Amino acid sequence: MRWLLERLNVNPLREFGAAASRCFAAGALGLSTLGGVAYAETGAAAAVEESHQGSLKIPLIQNRFFLKTARFEIAPLAGVAPSDAYSQTFLAGADLAYHFSEGIAADTLVVYSPELGDAGVKSLTDTLINIAGESDSSNWQQPMDKISLAAVFSARLSPVYGKINLVGEGVVNFDFYGTVGAGMLGIRKNYATVGDDGLAAFNPGPFKANPSLGLGFGGNFFINQSIALKLDVRWLGYVDAPPYYGVGDQEEGLRLNTMLFTHVGLGFFIPKMQSRLFNF
């Protein structure tokens, strides 16, 4: 037998060891496969359970073209105050912000409105003054409280970020935000009286600073990764004495007054964003 095994070049111990190694490898592979399947099933089950419970939150847009975290925003603005029925009110200013995250920022709005004199009197004021002149109320005066200067410090929340395809392959990225805050509102207590021509004659009044509360909303439409077209609307409320029309006694008490501003401008974000592999 030994002579036959040597002639056939067969080593029983070596053959047995090779067979045992193959069996062990096959067993280890089977166990690892079963473990991987079990782990995958466990992970899938956990994801399904989180989804059912509402704790699995996946952002709708996961690849943002524009990132704001740890960046400053400087936005020169121009606008009007459409709530002022008696005076033409044009605004110029700036919005300064620091973005702590994609959704939260500290915001400071500063605006100034120049005095236009007679050129700033609206037609409604002329109409009211004309009525007063025809009724022989020479002492009548029309209050024309007008914003002169404002500074508002707010918290800005940006819960909405989106993308829209308008033309061809062009994609516009945007976000919408809301603001809540407080500040100071400088009001010029101007008024109009009956002029020699029967129309309104502008009379400048004293300047008065009023604490105010502010709410607002707006949107950024991103042109590139450093510049955005900015639309902004602010509502400011303040408490002041009732208007005086020059006839009779001044009404006592306080009254809530409001101002509405609308702005448009360009927002510049610094520092520069890191380069991306794809812009979409």
Sketch the domain layout of the chain as residue ranges: 2-53, 71-270
Across the range 126-132, mean pLDDT stands at 79
pTM passes above 0.95: no
135-157: per-residue pLDDT in tens?
A: 666 677 888 889 999 999 999 99
pLDDT at 52: 57
pLDDT at 31: 47
pLDDT at residue 200 tops 80? no
pLDDT at 119: 84
Phi, psi (degrees; rounded to nearest 5) at 250: -65, 130
Indicate the pLDDT class of residue 8, thresholds 50, 70 and 90: very low
DSSP string, 200-241: EEEE---EEEEEEEEEEEEEEEESSSSEEEEEEEEEEEEEEP
226-280: per-residue pLDDT in tens?
A: 999 999 999 999 998 888 887 667 778 888 999 999 999 999 999 987 665 555 4
Q: How high does pLDDT run on average in the chain?
A: 79
Place of tokens 């609308």: 262
pLDDT at 272: 84
Indicate the pLDDT class of residue 9, thresholds 50, 70 and 90: low
Between 166 and 46, residue with greater pLDDT: 166
pLDDT at residue 38 tops 90? no
Euclidean distance between CA atoms 277 and 206, whole angstroms: 58
Across the range 92-119, mean pLDDT stands at 93
Phi, psi (degrees; rounded to nearest 5) at 55: -90, -10
| 71-270 belongs to CATH 1.10.1740.10 | no
Between 273 and 190, residue with greater pLDDT: 190
